[in-house]
Amino acid sequence: MFVRDYMTRNPVTVMPGVAIPVVRGLLSDKGFRHVPVVNEEGRLLGVVTDRDIRSAYPSLLIPETESRVQLERMAQTPVEAIMSKNVVSLHCNATLDDALLLIDKKKVGAVPVIDENGRVIGVFSIRDLMRAYSQLFGLAEKGSVLIVLRNSDQPDILSRILQALESHGIVCTRIVRPVGSLYIYLRVQTFNLRAVHTLLREAGFEPVVGAEIGQEA
């Protein structure tokens, strides 16, 4: 559940005095879109994105002579001139939920992860977030099947579902009961759908099957 389990560790960073074209080369070589800018101690100063770099380059529409002057000037410019300062970061103890809320609120693609001393120890991107949640929800986990049950307000419904499954040796890896939802979703490790539906019906639950599943709105 922690960002540190899914982030890119020991990320590539740059010092503030590095020239812009060098950083551009780095991003394109490595296929990154974000690079943290750090000081000698490794503390976070800012972030440079591929978009910051693109904005710093002269437009393709201006005359070549003018463009050349601008390119020469830019070659001398350190990256700190174009980096975003006051950037957000995630603490090494931050959870995936912290990351999701922050990325959603700030509309950023990646966030540096820092340790107790403010040193950059990782980068956590939207792709890491998707990978983490896919794994948590069992997406594309081979050999499993989703079972949908009608929800009810019985206080012990979840424990009774799990007891019914486990007493028959059916391994359940996920159980999701969204607040206010008409349905409860289970992910079980079996192909024997018939047996699972039968045992759940016998335990007093109502599996939702076929076209009914799509009609939950």
Partner 1 sequence: MPDFKTITIVNSPFYMKHDTGAEHPESPERMTAVMNRLLRNDPEVRMVKLPVELLSPRIAAREDVVALHKENYLMRFEEACLAGKEWLGHSDNRISYDSYEAAFLSAGAGLSAIDFLEDGSKNPIFCCVRPPGHHAEAALALGFCFLNNVAIAARYWQRRYGRKKIFILDFDAHHGNGIQELFDEDPDVFYVSIHEHPTFSFPGTGWANENGTGAGQGFTLNIPLSPGAKDEAVLKAMEEQVKPAFDAFQPDAMVVAAGFDGHALDDMSGLAYSTKLYGKLGSYLSVWAENCDNRLVSILEGGYHLEALAAGVEAYLIGLAIRV
Structure tokens at 130: 């998707």
Beta carbon of residue 12, minimum distance to partner 1 (angstroms, whole number): 28
Residue with smaller CB distance to partner 1, 42 or 207: 207
Under rule CB under 8 A, residue 143 binds partner 1: yes
Residue with smaller CB distance to partner 1, 24 or 187: 187
Q: Which residues of 155-172 are buried (b: 16+ CB within 10 A; e: fewer)?
A: eebeeebeebbeebebeb
Helices 126-137/96-106 angle, 10° precision: 140
Under rule CB under 8 A, residue 180 binds partner 1: no
Q: How many residues at the interface with partner 1, by CB under 8 A? A: 25
Which member of 97, 141, 166, 202 binds partner 1 (CB under 8 A)?
Answer: 141
Under rule CB under 8 A, residue 144 binds partner 1: yes
Under rule CB under 8 A, residue 140 binds partner 1: yes
Under rule CB under 8 A, residue 130 binds partner 1: no
Binding site for partner 1 (CB under 8 A): 138-146, 148, 169, 189-195, 197, 209-214
